[in-house]
Structures are given as structure tokens and as C-alpha cells.
Chain A
Amino acid sequence: MSTPTPSLLVDDLAFAYPDGHQALYGVDLRLEPGERVALLGPNGAGKTTLVLHLNGILRGGRGRVEVAGLPVEDRNLPEVRRRVGIVFQDPDDQLFMPTVGEDVAFGPRNLGLPEAEVARRVADALAAVDMADAADRPPHHLSFGQRRRVAVATVLSMQPEVLVLDEPSSNLDPAGRRELAEVLQALPITLLMVTHDLPYALQLCPRSVVLDGGVVVADGTTRELLADPELLAAHRLELPFGFDPRAVS
């Protein structure tokens, strides 16, 4: 159990929104360093709620979250937010600075890094998502797929321990979806990916966790989970027509 420190540890996490709506009922989750895990589940399952706990945006319920051994609590928030990079679903929410370069620099500057280091990180992060030429462009001049990739760069520049993506493939065209997959596959980092796109989960994440009704209802290899029609049907998960997870190597 206490072999290497997990990248992410969620222990018995329960949470109710201020309006009284209980979204999480005791979630346990453990991600080892370098692991790539898909978080599946129907609409309203509590996936985004869970994600917002990972860097302490939401807190105050029962249970505990640790990032690489560091508990998520008030005094650790700056460090926790450096260690956990969250890419939100709508890149227009994520890209708020006037230019791509400044947006990618936003995080490192908040960390108080010297300007030379900031510049290096911006260049590296943009190169990692194949958007190096876009540094001086305003975000709204980019295509949706490019904005999604820049959004990934904005958190990569903080050199996080864990990268969390909320529905990264939504609204992408097939080429944009594939390009993002190539980018994500090449990142040597712990990855938690919330998605409704089951083939994408299979392609990128060896392991999947199914959340439904605020609890983890399944946790195993993606291939096995997707090959279990009863499990999928019970949690409103559906493979695209004609897709056979066993046929994909």
C-alpha cells in the first residue's frame, strides 16, 4: 500500500453543493505516477465536481485529497495548484489573456519565476502542443482545436505533477481529436481524463474509473470495462455504433 507516493490520492471524498445537492458520496481514487486514467460516467455523475476538488477549488466536504503526498488544504493551495494542472472544457474560459504567449506565461508568472525561466517554459509548453508559432496571436483567432491545445499548454507551463482534462475531445473535429491525442500520448505525466468518448479513453488510457451517482462503480483496465455491455448499459455509457473494443489492438 505505502509503496511510492501516489500522484493523486482521493480518500472517501463526499461533497454537497451549497444548495444542498449532494454530488459526491465517498469517492476513493489512487493514481500512481505516470499513470493515465480515464474518468467515465453519465451526465451529472459528479465528474467535474470531483475534478474541482483535485486542486482545492471545491473543498469543505468529508474526506481528503493528496497530490504527490501533499494534502489539499488552505496553506498548501499555491503548491497544489502548481502540481495539478486542470484543463477546462471550454478553451474560451481557459484562455483569458490577450495573446497566447501571455496566457501560457500566466501560470509561471503567478509562481513568481524569473522572466528568463518564464520565457523558456512558454516556449517548451507551446512546442509540446505543436503551437510554437502562435505565441503572439490572440486566442480568438485560433481554431477550436488549436485553442484546446493552447489550453493544455497553459497548464503544462506550470510543470504539473498531474494533468487533469475535462472532456478534452468534445467539439473537436476528427483531425483535431487525433492531434490532441498525439500531444497527450507524448506527455510523460500522470493524466486524469474526464470523457464521454469511450474510444478516446481506450486509445489514451490503459485504466478507467466509472463514476455514477457520486460513487466509483467500476475501476479496471479500459479494455475490460468497455467489453462489459451490462456495466456500460447500467451507467449510460455507450460505444459508437460498430465499435468493438476487443478488435482494437
Chain B
Amino acid sequence: MGAGHGGGLAAAYVPGDSPVHRLEPHTKLVAVLTFALVVVATPVHAGWAPLAYAGFLLLLLTVAGVARVRPGRLLRGLVVEVPFVLFAVLLPFVSRGPRTDVLGLSLSESGLAAGGSILAKATLSVLAATLLAATTDARGLLRGLERLRLPTVLVQILSFMIRYTDVVGGELRRMQVARESRGFRGRHLGALKVLGPAAGSLFIRSYERGERVHLAMLSRGYTGRLPSGPVAVAGGRAWATALSLPLAAVAVLAGGSLLG
């Protein structure tokens, strides 16, 4: 239904009909959030931490298998993580404390552990979020957030963002075409003199559109709340299925700390 929404957002969703796709969005949101919390709670310096990370990864891959989300899709989801990777790679170089030699480089041991675990935790959390996005369309995510009592204003802002990404993107493209049709090239610093005002005018256009949309909403009886359609009730089964992921993660964590 929501496939194709909002350009970049649309690309995240992989249409399908797996049990994971069918779960109520808000149960999946809670599941992913608690999973990420469990992952983050894993002690960095415990000797068994790498085993726990492997266990978490196995859990996620199982879910991906059930949802029939391809590995390539998961890897693409990891792109957002790149800045963290850079930071994590820096840590062993800049941290203090006992050093160890790897391939002739002198690295900090605690930096290595911290960097490695930042990387592992970020990767696992991003993978979980990617799975969520791949199995839930944008509309469903919004409904989920709404059911979780996220302030309506925030949900509405997100919903308008999805609806108007393309419209504003189209405006941006048209302005760009208009500029370039008149011989503009944005490759040198002087271009900022043109691009600054262009950004300003895009903002004003968007602001004015916002006003017009608001008028259109008022004209149809809007009173500050987006009316929601019929809501399906998530039964105990749905919650149990969704929460099996974070619960399994807790089990991994508990196993690790008992054995370690």
C-alpha cells in the first residue's frame, strides 16, 4: 500500500507477506527498540562479549530468513553506519592505556575493545532497524508510532514528511533545472552566492505550501487531530511473536554472564 512513498523512504520497504511482514507495526517497533537496548547493555569488556554479538547476529539473520529479506538489502541498510565505523576505527589509535601490536601498528587495547564493541553494537542495531524498515511500510510505521502514543504532532510531522518529500524534491529539482538552463554551474565557491538564496527560497516555498495545506485541512474540518481509521487490536500472540526477538537476545546475554 505505502510502497513507493517518499523516494528514499520507499526504497527501504521490501513488499512481502511473511509472518514478520504481517506483525502489527507497533509490536515490531517495541521489539526492535528492546532488542537494541539489550545489545547496548552487553558489557564491553566481558570476555564473552564477542560470543554474545555472534548470538545476536544469528538471531537477526534468522528473522531475516523468515522475512525473506535478502542479505544484499541488509548490507545496504548498513550504509548509514559509515560515520560510526570511522569513529570506531579511530579509537584504537587515539585511546590511552596498555598497547598491543597489530601488523606493526601500536594500538590501545581498551581502544580496540571499545572500538570493536561500538562497531558490533551499532551494526546489530542498524541491522534490526533495517529489518523493521524492510518489513513495514512507511504508513505502517506511522500507525505503529501513533499506537505507541508518540505525540500526535510528531506523527503528523513524519506523515507530512513522507507525503511531501517528493513534492519538495520536485520543487528542488525544478529550481535546479531552471538554474542550469541559464548556464549556472555549481562547482566553485562563488556558487554559494546563488545556492544560499536558492535554499532560502525553497524554504519559503515549502513554508507557504505548509500554510496552504493547513488551509485545506481546516476547510475539511481539521481540529488538530488526524482522524485515524479503524485500528486492529494486536493480540497476545502478535506480541509474543514480536517480542521473541528481544527475549532471545536477553537469553543470550544471561547465558553469557552466567557462563563467563
Contacts and interface: CB of A to CB of B under 8 A. Distances in A.
A155 B212 contact: no
Interface size range of chain B in the complex: 20 to 34
A93 interface: yes
Given A82-B221, A98-B5, A93 B229 contact: no
B160 A96 contact: yes
B215 A96 contact: no
Overall SS of chain A's interface: helix
A237 interface: no
**Size bracket, chain A contacts:** 35 or more
Given A106-B220, A111-B221, A154-B220, A98 B2 contact: yes
A118 B160 CA distance: 22
A119 B223 CA distance: 21
Given A78-B221, A98-B139, A110-B227, A88 B215 contact: yes
B47 interface: no
Contacts of B229: 102, 105, 109, 115, 118
Interface string A18-56: 000000000000000000000000000000000010010
Given A85-B219, A88-B219, A93-B213, 11 more contacts: A78-B223, A88-B215, A90-B212, A105-B227, A105-B229, A106-B217, A107-B220, A115-B230, A138-B163, A140-B163, A141-B4
12 contacts: A92-B167, A96-B163, A96-B164, A96-B217, A97-B163, A110-B220, A110-B222, A136-B1, A138-B5, A140-B166, A154-B220, A155-B220
Interface of A: 52, 55, 57, 78, 81-82, 84-86, 88, 90, 92-94, 96-99, 102, 105-107, 109-111, 115, 118, 136, 138-141, 154-155, 158
